[in-house]
Amino acid sequence: MDKIYTGIKKNMLKVNEIYASIQGESSHTGLPCVFIRLTGCNLRCSWCDTAYAFHEGKPLTIEETLEKVETFDLPLVEITGGEPLLQDDVYPLMEALLKKGYRVMLETGGALPINKVPEKVIKILDIKCPGSGEDKNNHLENLQWLSPQDEVKFVLLDRADYEWSRDLLQKISPSTQVLFSPVYDELDLKDLSQWILEDRLAVRLQTQLHKVIWSKDTLGV
Ligand code: SF4
């Protein structure tokens, strides 16, 4: 596991970037949102599009992070990574954002426990498929700690990932929103749509809207 936060003092976070964009994933797709991307990840997904967040970043206090978020004047904030739960001070950051009245989302890779995340935070929990090379690290106990507002996301590389994910649906409460998202430029959206329709799956198809709006290589959007 990366020790990216070594040397970061208490009440400090290592932050890769903070920016405003259109929410490109989850059921909140399309909404303007402030993104706080924390540095470091304990996984190495084969199709990762944010490797620049593995190490790069600068230390910010929670207060400095809040000040930057406030400059964007938006009610929705997502904390992402990397893996945001690697940094202990992500918890006081989430509490501080909630206290200020923000709607707070957390995107996590699903390998670390989510049971200490504040109840009001909307968790987008990834479950890593075999195509990512990280399926052995799924912390499936997390499924018992999901709230009704939370969502589970599968990123699918191919048909094998689709079948693996479809089989895993039986472990997920029917009341939980499940997202199926193809790896951008790898799995055809039409193919995935067809499979979902053929199997009548109660999942939500999504694509990474920000990559459609801008381009897959544009950073900070
Ligand atoms: S969890 Fe996210 S940031 Fe980490 S390797 Fe996988 S895709 Fe990249």
What pLDDT sits at residue 213?
77
* Average pLDDT of the residues of the chain: 93
What pLDDT sits at residue 10?
75
How many Å lie between the centroid of ligand 1 and the Cα of residue 75? 26
What pLDDT sits at residue 6?
47
Q: Which amino acid is at 193?
A: S
How many Å lie between the centroid of ligand 1 and the Cα of residue 40? 9
What pLDDT sits at residue 220?
65
Mean pLDDT of 22-31: 91
How many Å lie between the centroid of ligand 1 and the Cα of residue 99? 29
pLDDT at 144 > cutoff 50: yes
pLDDT at 146 > cutoff 90: yes
What pLDDT sits at residue 8?
61
Q: Is the CB of 127 under 6 A from ligand 1?
A: no
DSSP state for residue 57 in the 8-state scheme: -
pLDDT band at 214 (very low <50, low <70, confident <90, very high): confident
How many Å lie between the centroid of ligand 1 and the Cα of residue 131? 13
| Percentage of residues of the chain with pLDDT beyond 70 | 93
pLDDT at 219 > cutoff 90: no
Q: Is the CB of 43 under 6 A from ligand 1?
A: yes
Testing ligand 1's pocket by substitution, the residue of 16, 48, 79, 139 carrying the most ligand atoms inside 8 A of its CB is 48
How many Å lie between the centroid of ligand 1 and the Cα of residue 157? 14
> Over the stretch 5-22, which tens digit does the pLDDT of each residue have?
545 667 899 999 999 999
Half-sphere exposure of 90 (CA within 13 A, CB side): 29
What pLDDT sits at residue 103?
98
> Over the stretch 67-79, which tens digit does the pLDDT of each residue have?
999 999 999 999 9
> Over the stretch 78-107, which tens digit does the pLDDT of each residue have?
999 999 999 999 999 999 999 999 999 999
Q: Which tokens sit at 212?
A: 């459609």
Contact 57, 86 (CB under 8 A): no
What pLDDT sits at residue 210?
73
pTM of the model: 0.92
Half-sphere exposure of 205 (CA within 13 A, CB side): 16
How many Å lie between the centroid of ligand 1 and the Cα of residue 5? 17
> Over the stretch 34-51, which tens digit does the pLDDT of each residue have?
999 999 999 999 999 999
User: CA dist 52 to 16, 35, 60, 132, Å?
Assistant: 8, 15, 18, 18
Nearest CA to ligand 1 atom 7: 48
User: CA dist 170 to 101, 155, 164, 174, Å?
Assistant: 35, 17, 11, 8
Nearest CA to ligand 1 atom 8: 48
pLDDT at 181 > cutoff 80: yes
Domains of the chain and CATH, by start: 12-213 (3.20.20.70)
Q: Which tokens sit at 71?
A: 């400059």
Nearest CA to ligand 1 atom 6: 45
